[in-house]
Amino acid sequence: MKIIRTTEGLQAYRKTLDDSVGFVPTMGALHAGHCALIEAAKARHQHVVVSIFVNPKQFNQAKDLECYPRTESDDQQLLETLGISALFLPSVTALYCEDDHYVVDELLLSQDRCGAARAGHFRGVLTVVLKLLNLVQANAAYFGEKDYQQFELIQGMASALFLNTRIESVPTVREADGLAMSSRNRRLTKAQRMLAAKLYPCLRNSESDDAARSSLSHAGFSVDYVTSAKGRRFGAVRVGAASDEIRLIDNVRIKI
């Protein structure tokens, strides 16, 4: 596995590869969900590039950025065992120069659900993903369905801006009790972890969005939203004290 830390190094490395390249962008703290993305890319491409970059532009709360888990050494060891071709580990200044005032925005889908609750979040996501897609020039990039709104926005951006990279989704990977795999799960206390497991069944088993919202509130969550669209029910909740809240999201397929 080649480790690359500069944009120039990544661009030079890309020139050595053929046209069979898959890309998996991550923020690290890797888990089985990331492994599923990598395995999907490996099944379809000769070369797989993974990036780890905790993007400060997509955090709307300084505390959330500060507390986001960082496990670079463990992540590198895991990626070695998975047999990827290259790991891109850029610094913040590698992707954002001092006079970088350019952003990518979307004016419709990004305004609801997580976009309504996290001002500027998707602007940060789309901006960094466009940078990474332009650098890697992969045939396809892989994203998990847990962050389904993010997947829709990135897929829409790739289409609207005529990018050559296909945007592919991979089904959500879950813990044995149904909790969607997430790097933020590492921050949950034992009691919060037990509560978090109730998110999935409340979304899946409730007869309506209102019923799901009521069940989540009764269980002890602070509910950001529950809403359905395009055959899926989406939910976002918070656990923990206001000074150290952990936000969890999930979505399930429903019959319409």
Q: Model confidence over 205-234: pLDDT tens digits?
A: 999 999 999 999 999 999 999 999 999 999
What pLDDT, on the 0 to 100 scale, is given for residue 224? 96
Cα–Cα dist 37/5, whole Å: 22
pLDDT in tens, 13-62: 999 998 899 999 999 999 999 999 999 999 999 999 999 999 999 998 88
State the pLDDT at residue 40: 98
pLDDT at 255 over 90: no
Residues 10 and 110 in one domain: yes
pLDDT above 80: residue 242: no
Domain end point (choices 114, 136, 170): 170
Number of structural domains the chain divides into: 2
Mean pLDDT across 235-253: 92
Residue 243 clears pLDDT 80, i.e. is over it: no
pLDDT of residue 256: 67
Segment 140-174, tens digit of pLDDT: 999 999 999 999 999 999 999 999 999 999 999 99
Mean predicted confidence (pLDDT) in 166-187: 97
**pLDDT of 98:** 82
Query: Do 45 and 132 fall within a single domain?
Result: yes
pLDDT at 5: 98
- What's the mean pLDDT when you consider all of the chain? 96
178 in a domain, yes or no? no
Active site residues: 34
Is residue 256 included in any domain, yes or no?
no
Q: Do 98 and 220 fall within a single domain?
A: no
Structural domain boundaries, residue 211: 183-251
Quick check: is 6 in a domain? yes
Q: How many CB atoms lie within 10 A of CB 176?
A: 6
Average pLDDT over residues 239-252: 90
